[in-house]
Amino acid sequence: MRLATFLRGIGQTLITAGVVILLFVAYELYFTGLETAREQHALSDEIEQVWRHGGGYSKPGDPLPKIKIGDGVAVLRIPRFGREWFKVVVEGVSVADLKRGPGHYPGTQLPGQKGNFVVSGHRTTYGAPFNRVDELEQGDAIVVETRTTWYTYRVTTTQVVEPTAIEVTYPVPYRAGEKPVLARITLTSCHPKYSASQRYVVFGQLEETTPKSAGTPTALAPGAA
């Protein structure tokens, strides 16, 4: 009887633990996405208001605004992820920042500037903005929108690196101290999915700069590659 009671207790404990784990996984994969969706909706409204009143970052050469951690910096669009896919990029890459959306590494360049515009994002939780980052191929478009300008980058290479490989964020990746002559973009996310043991990195180079007054850039046109 004592053994049966003991085994029954063990079984109930394991069942309870399993339920807790399942609830935690559901929260991480689903409910954190709802939280981030709300944050993105608010950020989208905020950045539109800022732009409407002439604020926010626009283009190289203009006076740089004071960008605070958590502010919306730009809007990211990746056609391969769907015509309706877009995310507001926030300033900062802390845990709190990345819960709101993809984050711009402070100290790296801004869109269109010579150097490296580095953006990091979750792959499985908090909306998983970079869930499909490994699907990007050479030549794919990455479009960044600021107050007055569209910047179209094209993917050049992808790579898997260690989490400590900060050299991918240099103005010229892997070349410390070298003066940049090109405008680049680098996207980083955890790799593989559901793990943070490595980083998946997508490198791109600026191909086209389009004033928003001229209309939608070529990469966002229907049927564009």
Catalytic residues: 122, 190, 199
As a three-state string, the secondary structure of 11-78 is HHHHHHHHHHHHHHHHHHHHHHHHHHHHHHHHHHHHHHHHHHCCCCCCCCCCCCCCCCCCCEEEEEEC
Residues 225 and 201: beta-carbon distance below 8 Å: no
Q: What are phi and psi of 213, to 5 degrees?
A: -65, -20
Distance CA 173, CA 188 (A): 13
Encoded tokens for 40:
């993105």
Distance CA 26, CA 45 (A): 28
Distance CA 144, CA 150 (A): 6
- What's the burial of 139, exposed, middle or buried (CB within 10 Å: 0-12/13-18/19+)? exposed
Encoded tokens for 34:
């709802």
Distance CA 41, CA 43 (A): 5
